[in-house]
Amino acid sequence: MDIRPPYGYQEIVPLTKQHRVLLPEARKLPLVFRNLTALPLSFTEFAAACRDYPIAFVSSDGGKNFVAMAVLGLENQQNLFVEAGGGWDGAVYLPAYVRRYPFCMTRITVDGQEQPERVACVEKRAINDKGEALHNARGEPLPVWEERKKLLFEYEADLVRSDEMSRALAGLGLLETFSMQAIPNEGAPLAMTGMYRVAEQKLGALAPEKLKELTQQGILARVYAHLISLNNFGRLLDRRSGLAKPAAPARNSKKLN
């Protein structure tokens, strides 16, 4: 049996009713997430996340499959939203990917075959006899688990909707590569590559029936949130180095005002 941990997790195991789990404090960021430059974003998070983070699409297979991500930094292993005490900045939206930790949902591979159902898992090192019990002696879920279980399962379903949106946008040929350049007050210029975004010109050229379909699916609203969020690259630069020159426009695109 093979269990692959999600992005940012280390070693996970299927959750049992006997497990006691160390739960992080509210908005306290686990060590494994403090150096991540981006985090996956689910479908319903776009409206809240676009106020604080640039939202970009990334692909690990050369543009065949895409994942929507909230960008957290301008350099590798940089999260600009971690405060000195290890907490997530209380003034910004906290992604559900972090809020669900140390739990996750994943598929299990048996004899080389990926099983269709997803299994609730937990980060192995969070299992501790001094941790919180999630079920009582009769095996019934306690409120502490009921709340997290609701988030876990709803978030997993919402990630599926995000994946479907990415496939729809890619299928219509709307995603294009872009890079972002920034000039800090001190130090060398910064450049981020390997990202994709919706091409506004191609979006505007879609047939009316396709636009209507995207609207009915709730995708068009997410596209607008994504495009507006790209202005937040400048805010990332401000977080990194204080007041600085604005980020340079992305390649293959018009300047964002």
For Cα atoms 83, 95, 67, give the angle at the middle one, nearest 5 degrees: 120
Nearest-Å Rg of the Cα atoms of the chain is: 20
Average pLDDT of the residues in 99-109: 88
For 80, other C-beta atoms within 10 Å of its C-beta total 18
Per residue in 148-188, pLDDT (tens digit) is 999 999 999 999 999 999 999 999 999 999 998 877 766 67
Tell me, what's the pLDDT at 1?
A: 64
Tell me, what's the pLDDT at 108?
A: 73
Average pLDDT, the chain: 88
The DSSP element (H or E) to which 117 belongs, if any, is strand 113-123
More confident call, 142 vs 187 = 142
Per residue in 49-92, pLDDT (tens digit) is 999 999 999 998 888 899 999 999 998 889 999 988 889 999 99
| Alpha carbons 134 and 141: distance in angstroms, whole number | 6
| Alpha carbons 184 and 193: distance in angstroms, whole number | 17
Two structure tokens written together for 74: 């301008």
Tell me, what's the pLDDT at 115?
A: 67
Is residue 72 a contact partner of residue 81, using CB atoms and an 8 Å limit? yes
Is residue 124 a contact partner of residue 13, using CB atoms and an 8 Å limit? yes
